[in-house]
C-alpha cells in the first residue's frame, strides 16, 4: 500500500447532520499525520449535503452506502479505503474527543503492542446512564471470562489498531457487534491490547444515540460465537493476509491498563 500515513480515521456516519462537520473539524485539528475516511451509511437527514462539501478537502475521502447497512458494515467499507500505519474509528458525534489521538498512539511505538483501547472507565465518563454503564461493564467482564483478558472497556469506540493487522482480519458484523468481534479476534489471534484512560461525554437517545439494549444481546452472541469459531476463519484469504500481516501466528493474548495521571491503579471495576 503506497503513500502511507500515520493514522487512518474511519468515521461511520448515519443521520448526523448536527455534528458531523464539527467532528471532522476537530479531527483535522489534531496534530497527527492522518487521513479521514467518511462512510455515509444511507443518511436521509441532509448529512450527505454536508459530506459533499467536505469531499475534496486534503486528506478527506467520502464513501457512500446506497442504503443503511449498519456501523460494522460502514467500518468494513472504510477499512478497504485506508492506508494508514494505524487505524481508529471515530463516531460522528461528540462523545469521544479526537484530541486523545496522540496519547492513544504513544504505546504503539513498542513492537509488542498491537492495539490501544481508550477506556472510559479508567477515565471519568460523563453522562453515561446507569443502564449503559452496567451493560458496558458486564460485556467487558464476559470478554475477560471467555478470552482470559483483563479489559475494563471492551465496547469503547476508541480502538487504535495496527493497520496491517486490522486490514488482514475478516470483519463479518454489520451492526454494533463490530466491537466484540474485533476484540475477540484480536485476542484469539494473540495480539497485545493496551488500555489507557480517555474522556467521554455520552449522549441521550433524544440527542441521537442509536445503540440499544438489543445491541447488548447482539454483543453477547458475538462474544460466544467467536470464542468457538476456528481461528483460520478470522483472516482474509491466506495469501492476502500474509501479504498484509507477514508471519501472523496464534499466541496468548495480553491486555494492559495504563492508569490515569496521578492514579495509583485500575479504577474500572472498583
Spell out where the chain has E strands: 5-13, 34-41, 60-65, 84-89, 115-119, 125-126, 159-162, 192-197, 200-201, 254-257
User: What b-and-e string marks burial along 86-114, b requiring 16 or more CB atoms within 10 Å of the CB?
Assistant: bbbbbbbbbbbbbebbeebbebbeeeebb
Report pLDDT for 257. Answer: 53
3-state SS, 140-179, equals HHHHHHHHCCCCCCCCCCCEEEEHHHHCCECCCCCCCCHH
128-149 confidence digits (pLDDT tens) = 888 889 999 999 999 999 999 9
Helix (H) or strand (E) holding 48: helix 47-54
Report pLDDT for 195. Answer: 98
Report pLDDT for 251. Answer: 43
pTM given for the model: 0.85
Residue whose C-alpha cell reads 453515561 in the numeric block: 128
Q: What is the CATH number of domain 1-94?
A: 3.90.550.10
Neighbouring-strand partners of residue 212? none
For strands 34-41 and 60-65, give the pairing.
parallel
Neighbouring-strand partners of residue 83? none
58-95 confidence digits (pLDDT tens) = 999 999 999 999 999 999 999 999 999 999 999 998 89
pLDDT under 70 in the chain at which residues?
1-4, 203-213, 238-270
- CATH 3.90.550.10 residue ranges of the chain are 1-94
Report pLDDT for 111. Answer: 78
Amino acid at each position: 500500500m503506497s503513500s502511507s500515513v500515520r493514522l487512518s480515521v474511519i468515521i461511520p456516519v448515519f443521520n448526523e447532520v448536527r455534528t458531523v462537520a464539527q467532528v471532522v473539524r476537530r479531527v483535522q485539528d489534531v496534530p497527527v499525520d492522518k487521513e479521514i475516511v467518511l462512510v455515509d451509511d444511507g443518511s436521509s437527514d441532509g448529512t450527505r449535503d454536508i459530506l459533499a462539501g467536505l469531499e475534496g478537502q486534503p486528506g478527506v475521502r467520502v464513501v457512500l452506502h446506497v442504503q443503511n447497512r449498519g456501523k460494522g458494515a460502514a467500518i468494513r467499507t472504510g477499512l478497504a479505503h485506508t492506508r494508514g500505519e494505524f487505524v481508529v474509528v471515530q463516531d460522528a458525534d461528540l462523545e469521544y474527543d479526537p484530541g486523545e489521538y496522540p496519547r492513544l498512539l504513544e504505546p504503539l511505538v513498542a513492537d509488542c503492542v498491537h492495539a490501544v483501547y481508550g477506556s472510559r472507565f479508567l477515565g471519568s465518563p460523563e453522562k453515561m446512564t446507569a443502564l449503559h454503564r452496567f451493560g458496558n461493564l458486564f460485556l467487558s467482564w464476559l470478554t475477560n471470562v471467555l478470552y482470559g483478558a483483563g479489559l475494563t472497556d471492551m465496547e469503547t469506540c476508541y480502538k487504535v489498531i495496527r493497520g496491517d493487522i486490522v486490514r488482514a482480519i475478516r470483519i463479518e458484523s454489520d451492526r454494533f457487534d463490530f466491537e466484540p468481534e474485533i476484540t475477540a479476534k484480536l485476542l484469539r489471534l494473540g495480539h497485545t491490547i493496551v488500555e489507557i484512560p480517555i474522556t467521554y461525554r455520552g449522549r441521550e437517545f433524544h440527542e441521537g444515540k442509536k445503540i440499544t439494549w438489543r445491541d447488548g444481546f447482539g454483543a453477547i452472541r458475538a462474544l460466544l460465537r467467536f470464542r468457538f469459531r476456528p481461528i483460520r476463519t478470522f483472516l482474509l484469504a491466506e495469501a492476502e493476509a500474509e501479504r498484509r500481516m507477514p508471519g501472523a501466528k496464534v499466541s496468548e493474548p495480553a491486555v494492559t491498563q495504563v492508569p490515569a495521571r496521578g492514579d495509583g491503579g485500575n479504577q474500572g471495576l472498583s
